[in-house]
Chain A
Amino acid sequence: GNSVTQMEGPVTLSEEAFLTINCTYTATGYPSLFWYVQYPGEGLQLLLKATKADDKGSNKGFEATYRKETTSFHLEKGSVQVSDSAVYFCALIPAHAGNMLTFGGGTRLMVKP
């Protein structure tokens, strides 16, 4: 079946540090890949997405590249801010599955000033 695996948290970084949150997936064909962010006390927001191999999604300084050969979609940011503290979820929608999302376990990021 389809699955998403992402690194366990919490990830604790100092402000302006480089961030990587690993995400790998299992799915047939070419799923669409997503990163969602959940700020404290809020719902899920789409952060970025990529729909085909080698696509790079980017938003708010975050980037992730769809790597078919390694079935990965790692999230990166060159310089994190305290306001980036949140839980990040990697997710996929399979190529033919009625648009149902499969989520990874979530990674909590804590950025200290």
Chain B
Amino acid sequence: SAVISQKPSRDICQRGTSLTIQCQVDSQVTMMFWYRQQPGQSLTLIATANQGSEATYESGFVIDKFPISRPNLTFSTLTVSNMSPEDSSIYLCSVTGTGQAPQAFFGQGTRLTVV
């Protein structure tokens, strides 16, 4: 299993500003995933972060808006840039466990409100 610490747990931000969300894992992992959960919606994958290379973004998400860092195998950050009220969501970090059967683990999420 993996324990993921994500912070901040919540924040209220002014439009036009940026927020960086941190994700720390208690073990080394190859891939880390960042998801967005808009109010009342399911989870949508933003990007996959690999250590030592640029993140891979899903359709509809761009690096300028959601820059990601992955400096080592246990840590990643997601920045939500130039925020607008439409960015109000829960942002979640996830990793998958090793072993015979895949399993995903999640941080507790960051609840972002943009005013």
B102 at the interface (CB under 8 A from A): yes
- Given B41, B102, B104, B105, which contacts A106 in the complex, CB threshold below 8 Å? B41
Is the pair B104, A93 in contact by a Cβ cutoff of 8 Å?
yes
A49 touches B109 (CB 8 A): no
Q: Tell whether, in the assembled complex, residue B106 and residue A100 are in contact, meaning their CB atoms are under 8 Å apart.
A: no
**Contact, CB under 8 Å: A100 / B45:** yes
Interface residues on chain B, size class: 20 to 34
Q: Is A25 an interface residue (CB 8 A)?
A: no
Binding site for A on B (CB under 8 A): 6, 31, 33, 41-43, 45, 48, 92, 94, 96, 100-109
Question: Could you list 27 examples of A-B contacts with CB < 8 Å?
Answer: A32-B103, A34-B103, A43-B6, A45-B106, A46-B103, A46-B105, A49-B103, A51-B100, A51-B102, A89-B42, A89-B43, A91-B104, A93-B96, A93-B102, A98-B31, A98-B48, A99-B102, A99-B104, A100-B33, A100-B48, A101-B94, A101-B104, A103-B42, A103-B43, A105-B41, A105-B42, A106-B41
